Structure 1
Amino acid sequence: MATPDEVGAKEMGRDTGSGSISRDEELGEVALMKNNQLKKSLKNRHLQMIAMGGAIGAGLFIGSGKALSAGGPAGVLICYTLIGVMMLFTCQALAELSVVYPSNGAFFEHCLRFLDPTWGFAIGWGYALTWLIILPFELIAASITIQYWNEDISMGVWVTVFLVTLACIQIFGVRGYGEVECVLSIIKVIACSGFIILGIVINCGAVGDQGYLGGRYWSDPGAFRGGFDGFASVFVIASFSFGGTELAGLAAAESERPEKSVPKACKQVFWRIAFFYILNLFILGLILRSDDPRLLGSNGGNSKASPFTLAIEDAGIKVLPHLMNGVITIAVISVANSSTFGFTRTVQAMAQVGMAPKYLARIDKQGRPMRCTVVLILFALLAYIGLAPNDAGMKLFDWLLAVTGVTYFFIWGSICLAHIRFRKAMKVQGLSLDLIPYKPSSGVWGSWVALIFNGLCLVAAFYVCTKPPKPDSTSAETAESFFQGYLAAPVMLLLWLVWKVRTGNWRLQTPLQEIDLMTDAKFINPADVQHESQEKMSLPKRIWETLFNPSNILS
């Protein structure tokens, strides 16, 4: 496999043989790219909290209301558990790849290496566009949550406040991102833990005048709602709620010791899924009716329709709904902060290999991709179109978000497929798996399970998008609903096709024999592997090997 600089020169038509640029100019560009090193400032605690609470956001605190209304408490519990298992296996695969190849592009560069450069181009730009569009949307969402307390102040004021705050955080580089996410994640973790305790108290009838609830709402209105259509809808909603889980792998290149911190961080995904998603949603289904008409407002991202807030209000507690709204605001800001990290690191990595403007590859002396940050902040100014009358601006955002709709399924599936092909390439090229510093217990079969689940998510999303939004919908409304929900799929295929035409390389994947496993790889030294395996032996076995092994005696 060629180096990133060679790939960039080839893909952008900058080969010296073509005479398009001088040799000195090319050497200058290559030297510039080689000096573009991100600062390794993330400590173990940063990655732990990013993995633990980084992706807990509006998808859980608000989106779960739509899921509860669509599929009932049992449907929510089953679907979130299934998607949680899928994400657990995906993160384990990403951890193995990120430890061996800790690059700032993470899964983008893994796709370049193990799948195909063209598919890597599609994945990289699909992921970058997702965060690029999510940032202004999250700024609007954060401003809407503020209106829970005061609707008199214009939303534009809060958009400005949040945008300036995010811009200031970027001045401190990756350390600033890590510290902010660490603090915000702690707040979200405490809030989720507190809600579980409060939910148990409410269910037992110790608060409010509802009395003992037990499993009443699982019987009336029922454990499931909406039949198969409702279950499929919850399946899709649950999938989107886990967006951002992959950020721990993306941060590997800026971690002080990725071989230690990344596996630990990805292992935290299990506890986050089990405790903060599954247990919280189980408690929620016990204390809030799934047929509550107020839940329908959660579709618009309104924090007043958050099922967590509604459950607390129904218990007659006056202060806690305000605290929960504050947590929701923090969660939305956290996602906006993560979007700056996800976009800037991905685009900077793409620029290094010639798949984005080379101007964006520049890293300043403090190790910050500030040029990418400026582009992102400028695009975030689109948040002000939320002030347009008659919701005209939000209609535009609906179509922008459609570009990112099912992109995560392609990204997560590609991570799993890259892991599968990495293991196959190791076998074909005769390399021992003992060279890999971290191997997840799920092995390669976990990646196969997650890959299949991602395919099922795409099918479920397609099924949901083809269903009329209302029983009396017109064909035009049905078509609009479909494209707003599934537009990301043809966009991904278009990105793939554009780069195929651009490069003229029409093979679907890189042959296993041609995959470069050694460049920039952080394999374990074979001598260290042997020493480590001897340390793991029992004491009698080590004595036997030392005294009576024929090779030791002859030597």
Structure 2
Amino acid sequence: MSDGKPAVGVESDVEKGLSSPTNSQSESEKPSAPGQTERQETGTDGQGTVTDVPKEVLHRKLKGRHMQMIAIGGSIGTGLFVGSGGALESGGPASLVIGFILIGVMLFFTVHALGEMAVLYPVRGSFYVYSCRFIDPAWGYTMGINYALNWLTVLPLELTAAGITLNYWEGAKSVPISAWIAVFLAAVTVVNLFGVRGYGEVEYVLGITKITAVIGFIITGIIINCGGVPTDDRGYIGGRYWSDPGAFRNGFKGFCSVFVTAGFAFAGTELVGLAAAEADNPRKSLPTATKQVFWRISLFYIVGLTIVGLIVPSNEPRLLNASGGNTAASPFVIALETAGIKALPSIFNAVITLAVMSVAVSCTYASTRTTHALADEGMAPAWFGYVDKHGRPLFSLAVALGFGCLAFINQAAAGESIFNWLLALSGLSQFFTWASINLAHIRFRHAWKLQGHSLNELPFRSAGGLIGSYIGLGFCLIVLVAQFYVAVSPLNKPSTAANFFENYLGAFILIPFYVGYKVWSRDWSLYVNLAEVDLDQGRRDLDLTEELEKEREERRQWPAWKKVWHLFC
């Protein structure tokens, strides 16, 4: 926390969630140019007179294509390509698909809820700021710390996983993992030195690569399942593996165990909302990007994993090693190897390596923007908020890359144990983040109605509305309960205190931050007064009623097919 106590009353920036200047519509619509500054009200001229001091800001350089690729392919890595193998082994193909569908439905509503708020308030810190503003400053602060810690601890995991993926090739095994970690960490550093535009371009290229690879795998998987590969002596497979060894494994506990893997695989879906503050035109690019999350859920996860469950048996011994970046245990690689297709397993392994690097870059982006926003709201040391003239939060970046160096801990004797406990700190982070987004949206909608606003004033409306957010919040709570059950009685592990906290430490780590903020701020209210929240602060567009009505009138004239297309694209 910073040295000074932030105001948490009705008039405070913390409660209002202010993160961007909103003086006028014409000024706010202009994208930030290099060196563009905003004014802060503290500073002196050296003689005790208070003056405006220029402050560098994050640049708005993410184009529509960047936002769309962040939504579709961003942060897809080991959770899908490797971790899904462990979920297949523990829960079976039916549990794998059903678990991912349920989490996917929850994420669909969650991202739409986030998109509605982010289009209206494209502020730095996004969902953490919305929690401060519409729920409670202490809860918002806790969610900001939770989100930053999540990505800070995942970064060394992804760097290690990237190194492990290279061990798939015999020629790379002679090189120590630490050397590969150093190479990948240097690459992540270089990408981040190019600022937000560098992040956008890398995600765009790697996103296209991942999309192409998954579509190629789906087509290949269908051919394998139909017996169309001459080198595969299994012939026609069909639904054979759903009968033997079976659709479900390890009963209800096996089904519950899939949820955490699904949560890890879907992690980062909300990044499109975090990037809103650096989008050049969020009102145009964010709705499209938000709606395209549907294709990410459907294509990558549901269709891709359905194919995996059809052509890889859940009792395949190699799946037992599905941890970290061990791509030899990836069900995608196993499927291609079992079919005897030359070269394709190596190609897909290369795609996984690039996907892991993509996640590592996203880790750095997410953590730096969150810590920067925390500092900007007076909830973290002020130096985290420093931004250079190129729009890079350098001190936040230095801390993130410092956490990346924790990847080298794996080389120590007790490295694996230390690493597991570091990861346990953020094991449930995503579900708390998603629950908070839905709750913030629910309270935002109530505040919007309470203060006499109409839904027609919203530039973008969530496809699920309030009901969708209640469903999303309910799903998150159910998953947290299911994970508590698995933590108390782990699958294929003894019920010990160590195993419990390895699975559920992420929930308990939030308590000291929440209580600590309450004690520090001396504000013991449980939630903000929605009638007193300033709904105009933080809006980049203050009055779009006439323009929005013209757009809606135009859409009413569209044919049915175009309306359906617009719903998902």
| TM-score (norm: length of structure 2) | 0.88
Does 204-213 or 417-426 show the bigger shift? 204-213
- Whole-angstrom CA distance in 1 between matches of 2:109 and 2:177: 40
Q: Mark the runs of 5 or more structure 1 residues left unpaired by the alignment.
A: 10-20, 540-555
Paired amino acid for 1:171: L
Paired amino acid for 1:526: T
* CA displacement at 1:525 relative to structure 2: 3.0
- Whole-angstrom CA distance in 2 between matches of 1:409 and 1:64: 18
- Whole-angstrom CA distance in 2 between matches of 1:29 and 1:420: 40
Aligned to 1:2: 11
Aligned to 1:103: 123
* CA displacement at 1:244 relative to structure 2: 0.5
- Pairwise mapping of residues 369-408 of structure 1 onto structure 2 (< 5 A)? 369-389=393-413, 392-408=414-430
- Pairwise mapping of residues 67-86 of structure 1 onto structure 2 (< 5 A)? 67-86=87-106
Q: Is the 8 A contact 1:232 1:460 kept in 2?
A: yes
Matched residue of 1:147: which SS? helix
Q: Is the 8 A contact 2:143 2:432 kept in 1?
A: yes
Aligned residues: 521
- Whole-angstrom CA distance in 2 between matches of 1:28 and 1:268: 51
Q: Tell me the alpha carbon deviations over residues 351-372 of structure 1, each in whole angstroms, 9 at most, x when there is no partner.
A: 0111111011111111111111
Matched residue of 1:340: which SS? helix
Aligned to 1:146: 166
- Whole-angstrom CA distance in 2 between matches of 1:102 and 1:214: 48
Task: Please give the root-mean-square deviation of Cα atoms over the aligned residues, in Å.
Answer: 2.3
- Pairwise mapping of residues 287-366 of structure 1 onto structure 2 (< 5 A)? 287-366=311-390
* CA displacement at 1:379 relative to structure 2: 2.1
Aligned to 1:221: 245
Q: Is the 8 A contact 1:57 1:331 kept in 2?
A: yes
- Whole-angstrom CA distance in 2 between matches of 1:531 and 1:468: 56
Q: Is the 8 A contact 1:48 1:268 kept in 2?
A: yes
- Pairwise mapping of residues 22-421 of structure 1 onto structure 2 (< 5 A)? 31=52, 35-149=55-169, 150-207=172-229, 208-389=232-413, 392-421=414-443
* CA displacement at 1:401 relative to structure 2: 0.5
- Whole-angstrom CA distance in 2 between matches of 1:25 and 1:166: 41
* CA displacement at 1:167 relative to structure 2: 0.7
Q: Tell me the alpha carbon deviations over residues 203-247 of structure 1, each in whole angstroms, 9 at most, x when there is no partner.
A: 111111111111111111111111101111112221221000000
- Whole-angstrom CA distance in 1 between matches of 2:105 and 2:290: 13
Q: Is the 8 A contact 1:239 1:457 kept in 2?
A: no
Q: Tell me the alpha carbon deviations over residues 57-107 of structure 1, each in whole angstroms, 9 at most, x when there is no partner.
A: 110100100111111111111111111000000000000000010012100
Aligned to 1:492: 510
Paired amino acid for 2:444: F
* CA displacement at 1:31 relative to structure 2: 4.8
Aligned to 1:545: none
* CA displacement at 1:300 relative to structure 2: 4.5
- Whole-angstrom CA distance in 1 between matches of 2:304 and 2:48: 56
- Whole-angstrom CA distance in 1 between matches of 2:11 and 2:357: 39
Q: Mark the runs of 5 or more structure 2 residues left unpaired by the alignment.
A: 1-9, 19-41, 559-569
Q: Is the 8 A contact 2:168 2:327 kept in 1?
A: yes
- Whole-angstrom CA distance in 2 between matches of 1:248 and 1:335: 14
- Whole-angstrom CA distance in 2 between matches of 1:179 and 1:529: 31
Aligned to 1:528: 547
Instruction: Report the identity percentage.
Output: 50
Higher Cα Rg, which structure: 1
Aligned to 1:13: none
- Whole-angstrom CA distance in 2 between matches of 1:241 and 1:167: 24
| 2:466 is aligned with 1:444 | yes
- Whole-angstrom CA distance in 2 between matches of 1:358 and 1:537: 49
* CA displacement at 1:261 relative to structure 2: 0.6
Paired amino acid for 2:516: V
- Whole-angstrom CA distance in 2 between matches of 1:110 and 1:372: 21
- Whole-angstrom CA distance in 2 between matches of 1:28 and 1:363: 25
For residues 30 and 158 of structure 1, do their structure 2 counterparts lie closer, same or farther at Cα, with a shift above 3 Å needed? Answer: farther
Paired amino acid for 1:487: L
Paired amino acid for 1:154: P
For residues 437 and 212 of structure 1, do their structure 2 counterparts lie closer, same or farther at Cα, with a shift above 3 Å needed? Answer: same
